[in-house]
Amino acid sequence: MIPGPFDYQVASSVAEAIALLDQHGADAKVLAGGHSLIPLLRFRLASPAVLVDINRLRDLEYLQEADGTLHIGALTREVDLEASDLIRRRYPILADTARVIADPVVRNWATIGGNLAHADPANDHPATMLALGAQLVATGPAGQRLIPVEQFFTDSSFETTLQPNELLTEIRIPAPAERSGGAYLKLERKVGDYAIAGVAAYVALDGAGQVTYAGIGLTNVGPTPIKARAAEQLLLGSTLDDAVIVQAAKQAAAEARPVSDLRGPADYKRAMVETLTMRALRQARSRATGGA
């Protein structure tokens, strides 16, 4: 499995990366961690004319909270999300997600930006970002624009609303409200696999214990990452009791659009969305109310 020929250019700044993308347009592919792209090249399923390597852009590797927002540089490696005290303490759903992506060696090099921008419905971060209501920063020749994550993915697999000359540079996540919490659960055939199904759930409660925010994202049960909007609606205003969790889980399953494949039949995957949603919501509730 040998890649076909291509040119390679290394970007030494975000501006340079964008200039290169602007120059090459759709013939160019951004090379970040490369764990999706390089296997595609090796199987000759992708044949870009030029790779723009952004791995030297150390200023895109950061995790910081400022102004009520968590800012994650797009080139942040999964291992840094997994290991960060800040993430483990304040955003455990992100640590949940990072630690089930591929395997630990892959996570040393794979990036959060790549996981999102590849727009693979089987990737794990999209569901979590949908649950969290993240915003993505796209930087292009004209500067930056903010894309709400639900507008980042299109109706097609492997497609985003990024322009060919734009680079995903940052992910912004609202800092957690006082009584909020979330969890990401992934069912996989074995370690290193894509999800049979994955569910991210995030909730915020008010002082009376009523749900003021609910986010549910689904992994690999449809052509794109799925935001289970109707399930979220069921939760809003509820006290997140077991009955509503059961109901929301059923609703999330109804919103999944799985197909039968090597990861199991569609009805199984749909049922797993229900199981995982229930478990994720219970864990989210526990975390929101001070548990682990």
Partner 1 sequence: MSIHHIRVTINGKLYEGDVEARTLLVHWLRDGLRLTGTHIGCDTSSCGACTILVDGKAVKSCTMLAVQADGRELLTVEGLEQNGKLHPLQEGFHVEHALQCGYCTPGMMMAALALLKRNPDPSEQEIREGISGNLCRCTGYVNIVKAIQYAAQKLREPEQVPAGSGGGGE
Partner 2 sequence: MTTTNAGPHVHGLGEPYKRKEDARFIRGKGNYVDDIQLPGMLYADIVRSPYAHALIKSIDISKALQVPGVVAVITGKDLEAAGLAWMPTLSGDTEAVLAVDRVLYQMQEVAFVVAESRYAAADGAAAVEVDYEPLPVVVDPQKALAPDAPLLRPDKKDRQPTNQIYHWETGDRAATDAAFAEAEQNGVVVRQDMYVPRIHPAPIETCGCVADYNAATSKLTVWMTSQAPHAHRTLFAIVSGLPEHRIRVISPDVGGGFGNKVPIYPGYVCAVVAALKTGRPVKWIEDRTENLTSTGFARDYHIHAEIAADKEGTVKALRVYTLADHGAFDAAAQPTKFPAGLFHICTGSYDFKQAHVAVDAVHTNKAPGGIAYRCSFRVTEASYLIERMMDTLAREVGKDPAQIRLQNFIKPEAFPYRSALGWTYDSGNYERALRLAMEKIGYEELRREQAEKRARGELMGIGISSFTEIVGAGPGKHFDIAGIQMFDSCEIRVHPTGKVLARIGVQTQGQGHETTFAQIIAAELGISPDDVDVEHGDTDTAPYGLGTYASRSTPVGGAATAVAARKIRDKARKIAAYLLEVGEEDLEWEPGRFYVRGSPSKGKTIQEIAFAAYTNCPPYLEPGLEAVNYYDPPNLTYPFGSYICVVDIDRGTGEVHIRRFLAVDDCGTVINPMIVEGQIHGGLTQGLAPALYEQLAYDEDGNVLGSNFQDYLIPTAIETPRWETDRTVTPSPHHPIGAKGVGESPTVGAPQAIANAVVDALAHVGVRHIDIPITPWKVWAILKEKGLATA
46 touches partner 1 by CB under 8 A: no
Closest Cα partner for 261 from 197, 184, 190, 185?
197
- Which member of 20, 21, 41, 87 binds partner 1 (CB under 8 A)? 41
211 φψ region: left (φ > 0), alpha (ψ -120 to 50), beta (else): beta
The gap from C-alpha 93 to its chain's centroid, in whole angstroms, comes to: 11
Q: Kindly state whether residue 292 participates in binding partner 1, applying the rule CB under 8 A.
A: no
SS3 content of the chain, % helix, strand, coil (to 5): 35, 25, 35
- Alpha helix (H) residue ranges in the chain: 14-24, 37-42, 78-83, 85-90, 92-98, 104-107, 112-117, 125-132, 229-235, 242-255, 266-288
Identify the residue among 12, 13, 42, 242 touching partner 1 (CB under 8 A). Answer: 42
Q: Contact with partner 2 (CB under 8 A): which of 175, 189, 236, 239? A: 189
From partner 2, partner 1, none, interface partner of 8 (C-beta below 5 to 8 A by class): partner 1
What is d(CA 123, CA 113) in angstroms, rounded to the nearest whole number?
11
> Which is closer to partner 2, CB of 70 or CB of 248?
248
CB of 189 to partner 2, least distance (A): 6
Q: Which is nearer to partner 1, 150 or 193 (CB)?
A: 193
DSSP letter at 272?
H
Picked from partner 2, partner 1, none, the partner binding residue 201 (CB below 5 to 8 A depending on kind) is none
Which one of partner 1, partner 2, none is in contact with 189 (Cβ closer than 5 to 8 A by kind)? partner 2
Using CB under 8 A as the binding criterion, the count of chain residues that bind partner 2 stands at: 26
Q: Do 161 and 176 touch, CB atoms closer than 8 A? A: no
Based on CB atoms, which residue is closest to partner 1, 2 or 292?
A: 2
Pair of tokens at residue 279 = 């478990």
- Interface with partner 2 includes 192 (CB under 8 A)? yes
Do strands 28-31 and 7-10 pair parallel, antiparallel, or not at all (unpaired)? unpaired
CB 76 within 8 A of CB 168: no
- The answer to whether residue 187 forms part of the interface with partner 2 (CB under 8 A) is yes
Q: Is 79 in the site for partner 1 (CB under 8 A)?
A: yes
Pairing of strands 211-219, 195-205: antiparallel
Rule CB under 8 A: which of 10-49 touch partner 2?
A: 44
- By CB under 8 A, name the binding residues for partner 2: 1-2, 4-5, 44, 103, 187, 189-194, 196, 246, 249, 262, 264-265, 268, 271-272, 274-275, 278-279
- By CB under 8 A, name the binding residues for partner 1: 1-10, 31, 34-35, 38-39, 41-43, 51, 53, 55, 79, 83, 102-106, 108-109, 191-192
